[in-house]
Amino acid sequence: MNFRNARILVAGAGGFIGGHLVADLLRSGCSSIRAVDIKPPAQWHQRFVGVENMQLDLTEKSACAEASRGVTHIFNLAADMGGMGYIETHKTACMLSVLINTHLLLAARDCGAERFFYSSSACVYAADKQTNTAVTPLKESDAYPAMPEDGYGWEKLFAERMCHHFREDFGLETRIARFHNVYGPWGTYDGGREKAPAAICRKVIAAKRGGQSEIEIWGDGRQTRSFMYIDDCLVGIDKITNSDIPDPLNLGSDQLISIDHLVDIVESIADIKLRRVYNLAAPKGVRGRNSDNTQISQRLGWAPSIRMEAGMERTYAWIYDQMTGGSRRISQ
């Protein structure tokens, strides 16, 4: 299957990954794309000519029906989410995204969609399997017995199960990726929803430009994560959606690094050394998290491979441009 002749809905197209996905689908020759987001198009991370851009609140059942009218493929990337600073303090808002996926699945069934992609998260994994920095990479089966991230993670796990049962009960072909921290150009880097890679770039750039000698780091710097560059994420979405694998698959890098190491990488790109002030009271999430890529490697013959050093170089350059007025947020 490819998407050339598909009529596609990208839900959450005004966001970071949704915007890149629309760009990627256009590059691969898709001519029928409807891009939907709750934000007015002027606020989208990226928007494109030749695409039907719509502002709709997809928590509403009628909006999902309108968004899905006539489409064959649905990519659901719409969610109320952000980095740790956001999801730890907006649990209800995160859980209310359940309305988006529920209503979109109903709309997908009713419009006879051929395929439905759902963007789940590594936040579905049980907290007691992520308690030390030298964490064992998380296998798909580690999501059960369930004890995910409160709020956001529970909503993702529930939505995964909804996808599963829509496939079982109605034959809707659902595909699910569990994204592990995605980063890259066009990502949020300020305002409270940003994630660690972008936040650290912003802080280092601000310190460098402002002549400051220190930056604040959330936590003690030793907590570990893996981060996937957006280009790998796009390849993974394509491969998973086109696969015959309905079970949730990890889509993440398995290059485990500490937050301190991430700061080292950014400092080296910026050619600066800063004193680190650790804020132990700030939201920091689980102690360690990494992606076990056995399933995706074996079943798809591929896994994310872009090294953090390379991805951060491009991400830093983009954020630097934004902060210094080099280019505007909206791409086309």
Binding site for ligand NAD (CB under 6 A): 12, 14-18, 37-39, 57-59, 77-81, 100, 119, 121, 179, 181-182, 188, 195
Which CB, 62 or 212, lies closer to ligand NAD?
A: 62
Tokens 């983009």: give the residue. Answer: 318
What does the DSSP assignment read for 137-202? PBPGGGG-S---STTHHHHHHHHHHHHHHHHHHH---EEEEEE--EE-TTS--SSS---HHHHHHH
Q: How far is the CB of 153 from ligand NAD (least distance, A)?
A: 10
User: What burial class does residue 47 get, using C-beta atoms within 10 Å of its C-beta: 0-12 exposed, 13-18 middle, 19+ buried?
Assistant: buried
Q: How far is the CB of 67 from ligand NAD (least distance, A)?
A: 8
Residue 206 backbone phi and psi in degrees, to 5: -65, -40
Which CB, 233 or 274, lies closer to ligand NAD?
A: 233
Q: How far is the CB of 268 from ligand NAD (least distance, A)?
A: 23
Centre a 10 Å sphere on the Cβ of residue 75 and count the other Cβ atoms it contains.
Answer: 26
Which CB, 15 or 148, lies closer to ligand NAD?
A: 15
Query: Any idea which residues carry the catalytic annotation?
Result: 152
Distance of CA 93 to the CA centre of its chain: 17
Give the CA count within 13 Å in the CB-facing half-sphere of 22. Answer: 31
**CA nearest neighbour of 51 among 15, 16, 19:** 19
Which CB, 255 or 274, lies closer to ligand NAD?
A: 255
Q: How far is the CB of 173 from ligand NAD (least distance, A)?
A: 19
